[in-house]
Amino acid sequence: MVNSEYLNNLNKAQKDAVLHTEGPLLIVAGAGSGKTKVLTSRIANLIKEKKAFPNQILSVTFTNKAAKEMQLRVSKTLGSSAVGLPWLGTFHSICAKLLRKHASAANLNSNFTITDTDDQIRLIKNICKAENVDVKQLAPRYILAIIDRWKNRGYYPTDVIINQKDIYEKTILPIYKLYQQKLIELNACDFGDLILHCVKILEKNNDIREIYSENFKYILVDEYQDTNFIQSRWLNLLTNKNKNICCVGDDDQSIYSWRGAEIKNFLEFDQVYKNTKIIRLEQNYRSTQNILSVASNLISNNQNRVGKNLKTTMEDGDLIKLNCFKNGKDEAIGVSDEIEKNKKNYSFNNTAILVRAIFQTREFEERFLKIGLPYRIIGGTKFYERAEIKDCVAYLRLVYQTKDDLAFERIINNPKRSLGETTLKSIHEFAKKNSLNLELSSKKMLEQNLIKPKAKIGLTLFLDLMMKWRNDLNSKKCNHVKLLQLILDESGYSSMLKNKKDLENENRLENIKELLNAMKEFDTLESFLEHVSLATSVDQEWDGEKINMMTMHASKGLEFDLIFLPGWEEGLFPHQKSIEEKGQNGLEEERRLAYVGITRAKKKAIISFSMNRFYQGDWIDSMASRFIDELPEKYIEKNTFLDETKDEIEDFEFNQDLDDDDNIRSPGWIRYQKRIK
């Protein structure tokens, strides 16, 4: 039984978007404007009004979660009528379905396998080995990223035109050719191939293209601002017969250019599809008016946008708070105090801290662990659990304690020293037989000439370095911070990260620099290692509520009552690299990221920046982000520090840990004192 009430729950713009069925339609859906409701209502209406059978509707999403939610909502509205929605899914799932029907056109069998990332990396490594390409200098993950970029642009190896400014592309193209050949031999394809093969099949086979363009009377696309070239091209080919394509999205939330998304697909939609109808969903059902006014004013500084004016029926709400702190530590204290002050009104589950770069979570994690606030990292790993941090700590642990076999195992071949599993196994066996720790076993085996020649060189070097670092520390030639810097340089770990072309290494290096900053807060190596042990052993899997921490990128699609947006400083946000590499386009994407961050807040948003921050390995005098100047003052509440003169600033105390009066200390600090007593 069809629920005929579904149209009654729509506002005028939403209803117009549902009922406009003929011709191309672009729905500009502002944050919190109910785009999923519109899409599902549109599908329900097409079926109810007999505009199309369920199998004649193609509905495309970016995630399985979004596809399942749409399926559930449509089924709830249509009941048994929704059983047959075979073409509702992600780009990849639908293309996989099409490709299995026409696999022979791509030189595949219909039972082809889809390789995962591990298989892809293994294949690339094998090719690199055969072609004498040094994977230490050119990481397989980076090679795959370039190949994926080519596929997103619609390029098979024969289509690629080398970018002469990129010294790596000349090396990667032959690898790409061999990689594709091997995939065909294995009757396999990767995720990029799923769409690329489908596009090429549709381009080269008019009969196949006619079948699908005839069948799909209506096409609906969610999050259209996140599409890349090949996805857009695929959709265009499928509208060859019927022009009833409806794309929903928000150009102001286009923040994924780094993974291939092209905002011009959205901005130029009406140029690609003639006679396009544009409908704006400007009624926000998430945030207070003050939050929307600040976000709208900020994003209005972007030039490349369709434009809209968000409004809400909700109350004006609190002004957006703007806080200035002396440094990152004070910022973390200020945020934790604010959370505790507001916990009666805003639960931990409905509270989030959104950062520009993942290394920023460290100071907040330290603070929360110290005062006992539960938290979770969404879309990432806790600071002291990140691989590069665990590597650094393992080096320090082994320098401090020769019997630390776990640390020895972790770093003995990191970076590579020709000390593989076979060598480590023999060291383990010798240690067990002679009741020795692994380091002492290694020394004894070298003395007895029990290590193979190639491994002997690497092991000797490693043990010599360990002895040197211990002498450096014991002789007071360096403190624990300088010690880690020496370890990173002399072990080759820094060079490994700097020289290896890997997309993740920039984040790893930033995290290590943040670790060095953290170490400065401790007087000795012993006290620092004790802190790390306690930090990693604290049970953070508490039942109940947790404060959410994540990057602004990871926050897209989420919402929280209370949002904190720290680190709004030039160079960090907007990020310097983004501006250097992409110029004005990079700046506008950073501003869209700020817009996404602000519009995650339902009731309260707090922005902050610091006057000093340890960033990129050095203490710097920070400058407030240019985005702060673009915030409308009438909707902003500034803390008193912002209005202080320079002389007054020097005497202004943010750090409540330094106060003597228990009455003005934060609840967290009081709780911490009770715990340590």
DSSP string of 44-94? Answer: HHHHHTTSS-GGGEEEEESSHHHHHHHHHHHHHHHGGGGS--TTEEEHHHH
Q: Report d(CA 52, CA 479) in Å as an integer.
A: 73
**Is the pLDDT confidence value at 677 over 70?**
no
**Is the pLDDT confidence value at 661 over 90?**
no
* pLDDT for the residue numbered 621: 86
Instruction: Answer yes or no: are the C-beta atoms of 576 and 626 closer than 8 Å.
Output: no
Q: Rounded mean pLDDT of 54-71? A: 90
* pLDDT for the residue numbered 668: 52
- Among the residue ranges 78-82, 198-202, 230-234, 261-265, the one predicted with the least confidence is 78-82
Contacts of 185 (CB under 8 A, 6+ apart): none
* pLDDT for the residue numbered 596: 97
Q: How many other CB atoms sit within 10 Å of the CB of residue 98?
A: 20
* pLDDT for the residue numbered 1: 37
Q: Rounded mean pLDDT of 489-500? A: 87
Contacts of 450 (CB under 8 A, 6+ apart): 426, 430
* pLDDT for the residue numbered 380: 85
**Is the pLDDT confidence value at 595 over 90?**
yes
Q: pLDDT tens digits, residue range 338-361? A: 999 999 999 999 999 999 999 999
Query: Bigger pLDDT: 665 or 565?
Result: 565
- Taking every pair of Cα atoms in the chain, the longest distance, rounded to a whole number of angstroms, is 86
**Is the pLDDT confidence value at 61 over 70?**
yes
Sorting pLDDT into bands at 50, 70 and 90, what band is 501?
Answer: low
Q: pLDDT tens digits, residue range 511-557? A: 999 999 889 888 899 889 988 887 776 544 545 789 999 999 999 98
**Is the pLDDT confidence value at 32 over 80?**
yes
Q: How much of the chain is helix, strand and coil, in % rounded to 5?
A: 55, 15, 30
Q: Rounded mean pLDDT of 647-671? A: 42
Structure tokens at 575: 């990020």
Q: How many other CB atoms sit within 10 Å of the CB of residue 581?
A: 11
Q: Average model confidence (pLDDT) for the chain? A: 88
DSSP one-letter code for 318: P
* pLDDT for the residue numbered 532: 86
Q: pLDDT tens digits, residue range 361-411? A: 999 999 998 898 999 999 888 899 899 999 999 999 999 988 889 999 999
User: How far is residue 133 CA from its own chain's centroid?
Assistant: 29
Query: Bigger pLDDT: 468 or 4?
Result: 468
Sorting pLDDT into bands at 50, 70 and 90, what band is 179?
Answer: very high
Residue with tokens 């290692």: 529
Sorting pLDDT into bands at 50, 70 and 90, what band is 644?
Answer: very low
- Cis omega (within 30 of 0) for bond into 574: yes
Rg (CA), the chain: 29
- Among the residue ranges 64-78, 188-202, 210-224, the one predicted with the least confidence is 64-78
Q: Which residues are catalytic?
A: 35-36, 222-223, 253, 600
**Is the pLDDT confidence value at 3 over 60?**
no
> Which residue, 470, 511, 477, is CA-closest to 494?
511
Q: Report d(CA 268, CA 433) in Å as an integer.
A: 71
Structure tokens at 280: 């704006």
- Among the residue ranges 88-97, 208-217, 276-285, 659-668, the one predicted with the least confidence is 659-668
* pLDDT for the residue numbered 647: 42
**Is the pLDDT confidence value at 2 over 50?**
no
Q: Report d(CA 371, CA 453) in Å as an integer.
A: 52
Distance set, CA 213 to CA 196, 197, 204, 244, 658 (Å) = 18, 17, 14, 10, 70
Q: pLDDT tens digits, residue range 105-117? A: 999 999 999 998 8
Q: Which helix (H) or strand (E) holds 453?
A: helix 453-474
SS3 (DSSP) at 634 = helix
Q: What is the pTM of this model?
A: 0.82
Sorting pLDDT into bands at 50, 70 and 90, what band is 126?
Answer: very high
Three-state SS string across 213-274, please?
HHHCCEEEECCHHHCCHHHHHHHHHHCCCCCCEEEEECHHHCCCHHHCCCCHHHHCHHHHCC
**Is the pLDDT confidence value at 649 over 70?**
no
Sorting pLDDT into bands at 50, 70 and 90, what band is 506?
Answer: confident
* pLDDT for the residue numbered 503: 63
| Residue type (1 letter), 252 | D
Sorting pLDDT into bands at 50, 70 and 90, what band is 307?
Answer: confident
- Among the residue ranges 297-306, 452-461, 495-504, 556-565, the one predicted with the least confidence is 495-504
Structure tokens at 649: 């600033």
* pLDDT for the residue numbered 659: 39
* pLDDT for the residue numbered 664: 42
Q: Report d(CA 414, CA 476) in Å as an integer.
A: 26
* pLDDT for the residue numbered 662: 41
Instruction: Answer yes or no: are the C-beta atoms of 384 and 393 closer than 8 Å.
Output: yes
Sorting pLDDT into bands at 50, 70 and 90, what band is 438?
Answer: very high
Sorting pLDDT into bands at 50, 70 and 90, what band is 652?
Answer: very low
Q: Report d(CA 655, CA 199) in Å as an integer.
A: 59
Q: Rounded mean pLDDT of 652-672? A: 43
